[in-house]
Amino acid sequence: MAHVPQKEMLERLDESLKHFNYLTEQVMQPETLARTDIYQKISKERAKLEPMVMAYESYGRKLRNYIDAREILSNTKDAEMRGMAQEEIAQLEPELDDELKKLQLLLLPKDPNDEKNTVVEIRAGVGGDEAGIFAGDLYRMYTRFAESKRWKTELLSLSEATSGGFREIIFLIEGDAVYSRMKYETGVHRVQRVPKTEASGRIHTSTATVAVLPEAEEVDIQIHPNDLRTDVFRAGGNGGQSVNTTDSAVRLTHLPTNTVVICQDEKSQIKNKAKAMKVLLTRLYDKAAAEQNAAISSARKAQVGTGMRNERIRTYNFPQGRVTDHRIGMTIQNVDAVMGGGVEPFIQALADHYQTLALRGESPDSMSAKPSHDDDD
| Architecture of the domain defined by 225-293 | 2-Layer Sandwich (3.30)
CB 282 within 8 A of CB 182: no
Handedness of CA 51, 53, 57, 60 (dihedral sign): positive
pLDDT for the residue numbered 367: 44
Query: Cβ(275)–Cβ(170) under 8 Å?
Result: no
Cα 126 → chain centroid: 25
**Pairwise CA distance, residues 240 & 246, whole Å:** 11
Tell me phi and psi for residue 339, to 5 degrees.
Answer: -65, -20
**Of 313, 297, 287, nearest to 367 (Cα)?**
313
Residue type at 336 in one-letter notation? D
Strand partners, 230: 252
Distance CA 353, CA 369 (A): 13
Helices (H) and strands (E) in the chain, counts: 10, 11
The radius of gyration computed from the CA coordinates of the chain, to the nearest angstrom, equals 26
Find the helix packing angle between 79-107 and 36-75, rounded to 10°.
150
Rounded to two decimals, the pTM is 0.68
Q: How many CB atoms lie within 10 A of CB 277?
A: 18
Hey, how many other C-beta atoms are within 10 angstroms of the C-beta on 325?
25
The ranges assigned to domains in the chain are: 7-107, 118-215+307-366, 225-293
Q: Which is nearest to 49 in space by CA: 26, 8, 15? A: 15
With beta carbons less than 8 A apart as the criterion, state whether 121 and 168 touch.
yes
pLDDT per residue rounded down to tens, the chain (377 residues): 556 667 778 888 899 999 999 999 999 999 999 998 899 999 988 988 999 999 999 999 999 999 999 999 999 888 999 999 999 999 999 999 889 888 888 887 778 888 889 999 999 999 888 999 999 999 999 999 999 999 999 998 888 887 788 999 999 999 988 999 999 999 999 999 998 767 677 899 999 999 998 887 655 677 888 888 988 887 765 444 444 556 788 889 988 888 898 888 788 888 888 888 888 888 888 887 776 556 533 433 333 333 334 468 999 999 999 999 999 999 999 999 999 999 999 999 998 888 888 777 766 654 444 444 455 54
- For 192-212, b/e burial (b = at least 16 CB within 10 A) is bbebeeeeeeeebbbbbbbbb
Asked if 319 and 203 touch (Cβ cutoff 8 Å), the reply is: yes
Asked if 253 and 228 count as a contact pair (C-beta separation under 8 A), the reply is yes
CATH code for the structural domain at 118-215+307-366: 3.30.70.1660
pLDDT at 301: 38
3-state SS of 163-224 is: HHCEEEEEEEEECCCHHHHHHHHCEEEEEEECCCCCCCCCCEEEEEEEEEEECCCCCCCCCC
- 232: DSSP letter: E
